Amino acid sequence: MTEEEKKDSTRIAKLFRDYSDYLYNFAITRVNDEHIAEDLVQDTFVAAIKSIKNFESKSKESTWLTAILKNKIIDHYRKKVNQYKKESIETLHDTNDYFDERGSWRVDQRPTDWHLDSGHSIDQKEFYEILQKCISRLNELQRITFVMKHLDDADTEDICKELKITTSNYWVIIHRAKLQLRKCLEVTWVNN
């Protein structure tokens, strides 16, 4: 092993120690599967090893590694969406469980008043744990789309392009995801 290879190896080991937990937490909130998150982080470090010579330190190491991981996650999303599209996207248009034939809320599905006291602080950790559980209950396409939009702050146009869905399908998917998240939060957190 050359001196430069030893230096690169030491640098990668340090990057792994410094950022593996951060990258894992970033990945797990987006893919909601421990094994996939671990694989994505491993793939990130493999890509980092291959391109470390090109990293010029113009950005922080964490930014560089996160960018690599984001690309790995997008690749994962594409594969999952292509698999999921085999099931009809038209099933996402069925909102009969929330609305009647006129488009009005069904009485039993109307949003409830959450009766949250604005003076009472919300336990953020508890809320985010419950929100994460609710997100994990969404179907794959809804979960991926919701995470890209609301956790990664991706533009609608970029999401549609990445997932190869139309804008109309995007809005239906997001709408359904929000309805299901509201229902889940009401059952597991607000009315608990």
pTM of the model: 0.64
Confidence of residue 72 (pLDDT cuts 50, 70, 90): very high
> Which domains does the chain carry?
3-84 (1.10.1740.10), 89-190 (1.10.10.10)
The stretch 39-63 carries a mean pLDDT of 86
- Judge whether residue 169 has pLDDT over 70: yes
Q: Residues 140, 132: contact at Cβ < 8 Å? A: no
Q: Residues 185, 130: contact at Cβ < 8 Å? A: yes
If we measure between CA atoms, which residue out of 189, 151, 182, 185 comes closest to residue 70? 151
Give the residue, 143 or 115, on which the prediction is more confident: 143
- Judge whether residue 65 has pLDDT over 80: yes
For the chain, give percent helix, strand, coil, nearest 5: 70, 0, 25
Q: What is the pLDDT of residues 131-156, one digit of tens each?
A: 888 998 888 888 889 999 988 889 99
Q: Residue 68 has what pLDDT? A: 93
